[in-house]
Amino acid sequence: MPIKITDLTVHDIRFPTSRALDGSDAMNPAPDYSATYVVLETNAPQGLAGHGLTFTIGRGNEISVAAVRSLAPLVIGATLEDIVADMGGFWRYITTGDIWQLLVDMSPPELVRCLDFRYVTDALTPDEAIALLEANVPTKGKRERQMRESGYPAYTTSAGWLGYSDEKVRRLAREGVAAGWTHFKQKVGGDIGEDVRRARILREEIGWERKLMMDANQVWGVDQSIRNMHRLAEFRPWWIEEPTSPDDILGHATIRKQIAPIGVATGEHCQVWGAGVPARRWRRPVRIRSAHFLIRLHLRLSFAGRPGDRICRSLA
């Protein structure tokens, strides 16, 4: 019997993280981390249900909840079998993270069908994507074993939030070192003098053998990014995340060129061409000089968990 989605419930869950400035950064100085938590009920006799969440900074979480409720009629009544058979079509249907094992077990054609290619075929066609995946099928088993045995590289931002006191930064950095962390991320983008001072504190605590990354949360312009990263370069940051607007692709390329060898990461936003410009025209100047590097780097380090945490429940 097909597994049918029979109901959708959504919860507005909020945490008062602003009280201790947990999660504070240059764009969001006092956020209350929140979640739009969704449960999909089914007719499966064993009580199978689907759980998922969308993270927000609190402000507007109720809008995210309302958006989920507005999509409920498009989901209720659908069967799991139909959704899995054509995930790309389902994604398009509801206008536009998945369980990693589900994706790993898919063949290249099945995986490619999960994506909506209508805006990218001039840069990458479904057949080209299938060929890229098939070329790596012989080594897929090895990578899956590695995921199960050692997990995926991760970093911590616990000591790097923008609003923390010096004492708290030092304490959390020491705790991170004691716990075995080797990669730490610092939020920057407030006063540059304060960014420099906090970077010095972090280097004093984590030493020079560990990696220090930085994240400006999109608040700088291109020239400002270059100036500020030149000032922060003495602390040997591995990369700067979201130094400027995620839509400024060539700006990211310029920043990367001017601050090398410091890397640049795009954060949660990945862009590979500009509005109204064919992707192939952008492919050489942007993908080779900037976006290809940015995407590859961020996907390697996007999951922030604890040492030894394994991403066996989700794709980061």
Residue 245 lies in a domain: yes
- The C-alpha angle 306, 156, 159, rounded to 5 degrees, equals 125
Judgement on whether residues 173 and 297 belong to the same structural domain of the protein: yes
Judgement on whether residues 276 and 157 belong to the same structural domain of the protein: yes
Q: For 117-183, where are the alpha helices, taking DSSP H only?
A: 126-135, 140-150, 166-179
Residue 188 lies in a domain: yes
Identify each DSSP E strand in 195-272 by its residue range.
211-215, 237-241, 263-265
Phi/psi of residue 167, nearest 5 degrees: -60, -40
Residues 274-314: pLDDT tens digits?
333 333 333 333 333 333 333 333 333 333 333 333 332 22
Residue 46 buriedness (CB in 10 A; 0-12 / 13-18 / 19+): exposed
Computed over every residue of the chain, the mean pLDDT equals 82
Range of the domain at 12: 1-96
Judgement on whether residues 141 and 181 belong to the same structural domain of the protein: no
How many whole angstroms separate alpha carbon 33 and alpha carbon 17?
Answer: 6
Judgement on whether residues 89 and 115 belong to the same structural domain of the protein: no
DSSP one-letter code for 21? T
Domain count, the chain: 3
In which band, very low, low, confident or very high, does the pLDDT at 26 lie, cut at 50, 70 and 90? confident
Judgement on whether residues 166 and 247 belong to the same structural domain of the protein: yes
Residue 312 lies in a domain: no
How many whole angstroms separate alpha carbon 215 and alpha carbon 238?
Answer: 11
Judgement on whether residues 171 and 79 belong to the same structural domain of the protein: no
Residues 41-55: pLDDT tens digits?
999 988 899 999 999
Judgement on whether residues 193 and 265 belong to the same structural domain of the protein: yes
Judgement on whether residues 50 and 115 belong to the same structural domain of the protein: no
- Flag whether pLDDT at 97 surpasses 80: no
Judgement on whether residues 70 and 20 belong to the same structural domain of the protein: yes
Residues 218-241: pLDDT tens digits?
999 999 999 999 999 999 999 999
Amino acid at 226: I
Residue 311 lies in a domain: no
Specify the CATH number for the domain of residue 171. 3.20.20.120
